[in-house]
Structure 1
Amino acid sequence: MGRHEIHFWKQEFDTVRKGFGFEYDPSLAVGSFCEPLLKKLGAEDITSIDASGFEGASLVHDFNLPVPETLHNQFDAFLDFGSIEHIFNVAQVVDNIVKLVKPGGQVLIATNANGFPSHGLFQYSPEFFYSVFSERNGFRNTCVFLVNTSRPKLWHLIEQPARLKRRNQLPFASQMSLVVLSTKVSCADKLHVVQSDYDDTWARFDKGNWTRWNPEHISTWKKVLHGVVNPYAYKMASQLALAFEVRQQYRADRILLDPDNVDPARFKRDGSSRAGSEAYGAAAEAH
Structure 2
Amino acid sequence: MGIDIHNLNFLAHAQDRGVRFERTLAIGRQAVFVEPGDLQAHRLRRGLPPLSEVPAYFEPVLTQWFGAREADAVDASPYEGARLIHDMNAPWPAQSPERGRFDAVLDFGCLEHVFNFPVAWRNCVDLCRVGGHVLHALPANNLSGHGFYQFSPELFFNLYQPERGFELLDVFFALKADHRHWWRVASPLAVRRRVNLCNSHEVYMLVLARKLREPGELPPPQQSDYAKDEWLKSPVAPVAATVSRPRAALRVLEALGLRDTLRGARERWRAMRRSGLALPAPDYTRVDVARLIGRAG
| TM-score in terms of structure 2 length | 0.75
Give the Cα–Cα distance (whole angstroms) in 2 for the partners of residues 227 and 257 of structure 1: 42
Change (3 A) 1:44 1:223: farther
Give the Cα–Cα distance (whole angstroms) in 2 for the partners of residues 92 and 78 of structure 1: 15
Q: Which residue of 2 aligns with 1:118?
A: 145
1:147 alignment partner, SS class: strand
Instruction: Please give the per-residue CA displacement for 1:74-120, whole angstroms capped at 9, x wherever unaligned.
Output: 11111011111111001111111121111211111111111212211
Change (3 A) 1:11 1:60: same
1:191 Cα offset (Å): 2.4
Question: Could you tell me which of 261, 272, 276 is aligned with 2:291?
Answer: 261
Could you tell me the percent identity over the aligned residues? 28
Q: Which residue of 1 aligns with 2:236?
A: 214
Question: Could you tell me which of 182, 187, 205 is aligned with 2:214?
Answer: 187
Give the Cα–Cα distance (whole angstroms) in 2 for the partners of residues 131 and 34 of structure 1: 30
Structure 1 contact 138–184 (Cα < 8 Å) conserved: yes
Give the Cα–Cα distance (whole angstroms) in 2 for the partners of residues 14 and 198 of structure 1: 47
Give the Cα–Cα distance (whole angstroms) in 2 for the partners of residues 133 and 202 of structure 1: 21
Which moved further from structure 2: 140-149 or 52-61?
140-149
For residues 89-108 of structure 1, what are the structure 2 equivalents within 5 Å? 89-108=116-135
Change (3 A) 1:80 1:224: same
1:259 Cα offset (Å): 2.5
Structure 1 contact 108–179 (Cα < 8 Å) conserved: yes
1:201 aligns with 2:229: yes
Give the Cα–Cα distance (whole angstroms) in 2 for the partners of residues 141 and 133 of structure 1: 5
Change (3 A) 1:223 1:182: farther
1:134 Cα offset (Å): 1.8
Change (3 A) 1:178 1:227: closer
Change (3 A) 1:228 1:43: same
Structure 1 contact 139–184 (Cα < 8 Å) conserved: yes
Structure 2 contact 51–61 (Cα < 8 Å) conserved: no
1:4 Cα offset (Å): 0.1
For residues 276-287 of structure 1, what are the structure 2 equivalents within 5 Å? none
Q: Which residue of 1 aligns with 2:176?
A: 149
Give the Cα–Cα distance (whole angstroms) in 1 for the partners of residues 76 and 90 of structure 2: 10
1:188 Cα offset (Å): 1.5
1:252 aligns with 2:252: no
| Matching residue's letter, 1:13 | L
Give the Cα–Cα distance (whole angstroms) in 2 for the partners of residues 191 and 145 of structure 1: 25
2:103 alignment partner, SS class: strand
Question: Could you tell me which of 51, 67, 79 is aligned with 1:54?
Answer: 79
- Identify the structure with bigger relative contact order (alpha carbons < 8 Å, sequence gap 6+): 2
1:230 alignment partner, SS class: helix
Instruction: Choose between structure 1 and 2: higher helix proportion.
Output: 1
2:291 alignment partner, SS class: coil
1:38 alignment partner, SS class: helix
Instruction: Please give the per-residue CA displacement for 1:234-287, whole angstroms capped at 9, x wherever unaligned.
Output: 9959x87xx79x9899323321112222149xxxxxxxxxxxxxxxxxxxxxxx
1:79 aligns with 2:110: no
For residues 20-59 of structure 1, what are the structure 2 equivalents within 5 Å? 20-25=46-51, 27-29=53-55, 32-40=56-64, 41-59=66-84
Aligned length: 249
Unaligned residue ranges in structure 1 (runs of 5+): 206-210, 265-287
Structure 2 contact 46–293 (Cα < 8 Å) conserved: no
Instruction: Choose between structure 1 and 2: higher strand proportion.
Output: 2
Q: Which residue of 2 aligns with 1:224?
A: 243
Structure 1 contact 137–187 (Cα < 8 Å) conserved: no
2:282 alignment partner, SS class: helix
Q: Which residue of 1 aligns with 2:167?
A: 140
Give the Cα–Cα distance (whole angstroms) in 2 for the partners of residues 214 and 147 of structure 1: 40
| Matching residue's letter, 1:12 | D
| TM-score in terms of structure 1 length | 0.77
Give the Cα–Cα distance (whole angstroms) in 2 for the partners of residues 202 and 103 of structure 1: 34
Instruction: Please give the per-residue CA displacement for 1:17-55, whole angstroms capped at 9, x wherever unaligned.
Output: 1354433335234xx110111011111122200000000
1:133 Cα offset (Å): 1.6
Structure 2 contact 73–84 (Cα < 8 Å) conserved: yes
1:202 Cα offset (Å): 5.7
1:94 alignment partner, SS class: helix
2:242 alignment partner, SS class: helix
